[in-house]
Structure formats: structure tokens, C-alpha cells
Amino acid sequence: MTETQTIPEAQLAAAMRAAGLGGFRVAAVLGSGLGGFADRLEDPLVVPYEDLEGMPRSTVPGHSGRFVQGRLGGETVLLQQGRVHLYEGHSAARVTLAVRAMAELGARALLLTNAAGGIEASWPVPSLMRITDHLNLQGRAPLRRAEAGFGCPYDPEAGAIFEQAARETEVPLHAGVYAGLLGPTYETAAEIRMLAQMGAQAVGMSTVAEASVAHAVGMRVVGISLISNPAAGIATGPLNHEEVTEAGIQYAEHFSRLLQAGLPRVAQAVA
């Protein structure tokens, strides 16, 4: 019996529904240091992962491990505060289980956020990047056999909504390719040079599996990276997770303004 049969998304979706979650068209996954955006929701309902049978729990600092549902700009949205990663010992099926469950509950669009290392040396740090495409270098295939054939998961129309929101809120928003590596170690300078030659502007250890699965199950996908630190070979010192968390705090206002403007519009676009 496979893992997805043992802990199916329908089981997790049922547990989420029993906890009061549901009725949303758009959901978002908040990455390292970015969970504070949940404080912007009106009438929040908070459900810790440990209250949901089958929901894997993160062990990474900066990932609170709970769902928060509430109102934003007149729309009901679901926020996932923290994710699990392949490098924590989870399979691709478990990493993407919550994505499939959110689709079961009716989500038609998904915003994926993360903290990433910056490969484009001309961009300031911290800054924000809309993901236009990704490189899956994690050595894991997240899709099921019947889902083979799906290409770039990032929806250009939903991405354009965030581009417009960025202009209106005066939040600088770059655009580029995200390279997803397995982790948990940071990359070497040689690896960063390789990724630059492959066309990547940012690098991290998440997102690519979730994006592919969300697209395969019919959701419109947007990806936003917080460029929290220069990548190896560009940075002047050693890399560490505390730097990532600090960047999230430092850039929280810009990040929150962008999401507060963009998320309700995406919800309306998929109505």
C-alpha cells in the first residue's frame, strides 16, 4: 500500500472540514519567517496541525505549524503557516498532502511563498521575486502517474494580478526562475555558479513539488520568493537560518501589503 493510500488527502480534508475550515477559493502557504501575515486576517480561525489527523508537522524554525482561515478584502482565505520539507525526511507525497487536501476543500488558486537565496547579484536584499518558472533539482517526482505531462505550473494571469498589486502598493517585485534543491545544506559557490548558468535567479529547498501538484489538480498557482540573503559565492559570510528569519521580519510590511492587495483579487478572478 502506498503512502498516499495510507494517509489520503480526502482523510486530511475531512479532518480540516470537521475543524471548521472550508468555504475558501484561494489559499496560501507562508514560508520561513513569513507567517506573520496571518495577523492581517479578520475573524481568524486557528487550527494547529497536531489537531488534524494525518497532517505532517514541520520541525523548522519560522514555521508555526497551523492553518489560519479568515477574511481578507471581503474574501475568505486559508493560510498555511509553515510547511514540511523533503529534507525533514518526508516523501514528496507527504510534502504535498496539504495542497491536495486544500484542493479537495475547494481551493481554486494557491499562492506559494518561500525564503530564498538570491543569485541575481544586482537585486537588493531583502527583496521579493515572483516565480515565473522553476527548476526541480530535488530528485523527487511529486506527481502521480496519471498526472504526468503537466508543464510550467505558474499561472501568468494570476501572476499579472500580483504584478499590478505590486505597482499599486509600491512594493518592488522582481520576476525570475526559482531553483528547488533538496537541502538541508546550503549550496556551494560552485553550485550557485551552475544555477546561474541554468537561468535561475533564486534558490531554495521547497515550493517546486507543491507548485507542480497544485497545477496538476487544477489550481492556478502563484509563487513569491522573499530573497532573504545573497547565495553562496555572492554572500560575504556564512549562510544561516537566523538570517532568513530576520529578513522576513525586516520585509514583513512590504510582503504583507503585496499579499493583502493581491490575494483577494485572485480569489475574485477564480470565482
Residue 106: CB atoms within 10 Å = 13
Please tell me which residue in 98, 103, 115, 216 is annotated as part of the active site.
115
Whether 87 is a known active-site residue: answer: yes
Whether 147 is a known active-site residue: answer: no
Structurally, the chain folds into a number of domains equal to 1
Whether 205 is a known active-site residue: answer: yes
pLDDT at 6: 44
pLDDT at 4: 42
pLDDT in tens, 148-201: 777 899 999 999 999 999 999 999 999 999 999 999 998 999 999 999 999 999
- Give the closest residue to 213 by CA, choosing from 7, 9, 3, 2: 9
Contact criterion met (CB below 8 Å) for 65 and 49? yes
Please tell me which residue in 58, 206, 225, 256 is annotated as part of the active site.
206
Please tell me which residue in 38, 55, 88, 104 is annotated as part of the active site.
88
Extract the residue ranges of the chain whose pLDDT is less than 70. 1-7, 61-63, 233, 235-245, 247-248
Please tell me which residue in 9, 16, 32, 134 is annotated as part of the active site.
32
Phi, psi of 180 (to 5 degrees): -100, 115
Contact criterion met (CB below 8 Å) for 226 and 250? no
Please tell me which residue in 98, 101, 102, 205 is annotated as part of the active site.
205
**What three-state secondary structure class fits 238?**
coil
The rounded Cα 236 to chain-centroid distance in angstroms is 27
**CATH code for position 203:** 3.40.50.1580
pLDDT at 148: 74
Please tell me which residue in 27, 28, 49, 63 is annotated as part of the active site.
63
Write out the residue range of the structural domain in which residue 179 sits: 3-269
Whether 32 is a known active-site residue: answer: yes
Using alpha carbons only, give the angle 261, 264, 268 rounded to the nearest 5 degrees.
135
Q: If you write DSSP's letter for every residue of 47-76 in order, what string do you get?
A: EEGGGSTT-----STT---EEEEEEETTEE
- Give the closest residue to 212 by CA, choosing from 142, 117, 131, 123: 142
Whether 228 is a known active-site residue: answer: no
Rounded distance between C-alpha atoms, residue 98 and residue 48, angstroms: 13
Cell numbers given for 36:
506573520
Whether 254 is a known active-site residue: answer: no
Please tell me which residue in 196, 229, 251, 252 is annotated as part of the active site.
229
**Cell numbers 537588493: residue:** 124
pLDDT at 64: 79
pTM summary value: 0.93
Whether 134 is a known active-site residue: answer: no
Cell numbers given for 226:
522573499
Q: If you write DSSP's letter for every residue of 89-154 in order, what string do you get?
A: T--HHHHTHHHHHHHHTT--EEEEEEEEEE--TTS-SSEEEEEEEEEEESS---S-GGGTT----B
Rounded distance between C-alpha atoms, residue 3 and residue 1, angstroms: 7
